[in-house]
Structure 1
Amino acid sequence: MFENRPNIFSKKYGQWGPLFIRLVAGYHLIQGVMDNILYRLHMQEFISFLREHQLPYPTLAYLSVYTQFICGCLFIAGYYQRIAALLMIINFIFAILFVHIGDVYANTFPALFMLASSLSLFFSGAGKLSIDYYLQRKGKRNKRYNIR
């Protein structure tokens, strides 16, 4: 009976979905790297952790940490959403391949969650409750950068 009717609720409120993903994923990104940004010792521990996993350039830890922080802020604001999501897709594919292969699921889950969230935001965009949507409506963003 209900499955044959158009889902009026999701049509009306469907644009809230990306907001919830953006807020949780953005907060998780920021919270996960703040200690590395604020405390030099934590960054050195992260570099040592990467060296233990035989990553070729452990100083890329700085790039990863600051990219996660910036993209977390962009996720929350809904600004340059697809670019931020693409950067996080790349980051977490590398994290899963180089650090979490062979690891237990509980340790791998945060990286999988971030990869899935980033993929979702890459394909869906930021939604209507975002800076991207506001700028597109004002005509300040290139039309090819489709927000939806």
Structure 2
Amino acid sequence: MLSSLYSLSRFRDFGVLLLRLAFGLQLVLSAWPYMSDPAKLTEFTNYLTTLGFPFPGPGAVVSAYTEFLGGILLILGLWTRPVALVVAFNFLVALLLGHVFIADTYENSYPSANLLVVTLFLAFNGAGAYSIDARLGHR
């Protein structure tokens, strides 16, 4: 039984593709409201202000663009490792500032933690065979 499960490793690149597509789409869709509605960006800026984030206005814009553009690039599998590191840093700041430093509950914190882990997976493993990175010969 278990030995037959090892044959699934031949689909490893397909699994990475699915992860990139689902995760990248999540990033794009969650960032889009901030990109398209100035009121939403103002809400995010105000939230960062309440957390004591330095430069909350530029921080909100950088975070929204990081997620949106990062999501598109991860979907394409273009510059996956550096993009994943930038997005991981974004989620590390979100996790620490928005959850850990304010002693938030685990239930509220784990989505940011999971997003951080997915981006680290992509940074460590790359985009896989079904990507622009693979076409360009990036390893």
TM > 0.5 between the two?
Answer: yes
- Residue in 1 aligned with 2:104? 103
Q: Which amino acid aligns with 1:106?
A: E
What is the aligned partner in structure 2 of residue 115 from structure 1? 116
Structure with the higher fraction of residues in helix conformation: 2
Q: What TM-score, normalized to structure 2?
A: 0.90
Aligned to 2:14: 16
1:48 paired to 2:46: yes
CA–CA distance in 1 between the matches of 2:25 and 2:105? 24
What is the alpha-carbon distance in structure 1 between the residues aligned to residue 2 and residue 63 of structure 2? 47
| Structure index of larger Rg | 1
Deviation readout 1:115-137 (Å, 9 max, x if unpaired):
0100100011000011111121x
Deviation at 1:109, TM superposition (A): 2.1
For residues 39-65 of structure 1, the C-alpha deviation after alignment (integer angstroms, 9 at most, x for no partner) is: 000000000000010111102110111
Task: Give the match for residue 90 of structure 2.
Answer: 91
RMSD in angstroms over aligned alpha carbons? 1.6
- CA gap of 1:54–1:130, structure 2 versus 1, over 3 A, is same
Distance in 2, Cα, partners of 1:93 & 1:127: 24
Distance in 2 (alpha carbons) for counterparts of 1:6 and 1:24: 23
2:56 corresponds to 1:58 = yes
Distance 1:6 1:40, change over 3 A: closer
How many residues are paired up? 136
Specify every segment of 5 or more residues in structure 2 that has no aligned partner in the other structure, as ranges. Answer: none
Structure 1 segments, 4+ long, off by >4 Å, are: none
Structure 1 gaps, min length 5? 137-144
Kindly state the Cα deviation for residue 80 of structure 1 after the two structures are TM-superposed: 0.5
Shift of 1:6: 9.2
Identity, % of aligned positions: 33
